[in-house]
Amino acid sequence: MDKIIMKNLRFYGYHGVLPEEQEDGQNFIIDLEMYLGLHKAGNSDDIKDTVDYGKVYGIIKEITESNKFRLVEKLAEHISREIMSTYKEIDKVSVTVKKPEAPIDGEFDWVGVQIVRSRNG
């Protein structure tokens, strides 16, 4: 299966369980992989035969910056649902949400979740 990959998309949002996460916000990094057939676009060289990742970026930005979720699982689920409902040609999507500034007492690069959703379960 072919895929379109979007890595390290950066947004500022207000997601988290703690009150300060909901009030002060923090940076989030999102990776997206969209599985679909790209053979037609590869032959036609026409944007209408593929998924416009500029529009996908806009969807992710809107969801991440305009909502407040307690869990990054909810953010990832919301992104996956919106992408799959907007683009019927996508068979499967993988969404990774990273929190590089999670309120954890220790050293780390990021914590987060990855979900994979497909049309056939």
Note the pLDDT of residue 121.
74
State if pTM tops 0.85: yes
For residue 2, give both structure tokens: 């072919």
Note the pLDDT of residue 40.
97
Note the pLDDT of residue 23.
97
Note the pLDDT of residue 26.
98
7 counts as catalytic: no
| Domains of the chain: total | 1
Closest to 103 (Cα-Cα) out of 28, 18, 27, 29: 18
CATH number at residue 42: 3.30.1130.10
CA triplet 94, 96, 98: central angle to 5 degrees?
A: 175
Note the pLDDT of residue 15.
98
Note the pLDDT of residue 82.
98
Domain span holding position 25:
3-118
Split the chain (121 residues) into runs of 10 and give each run's mean pLDDT.
97 97 98 98 97 97 98 98 97 98 97 96 74
Note the pLDDT of residue 51.
97
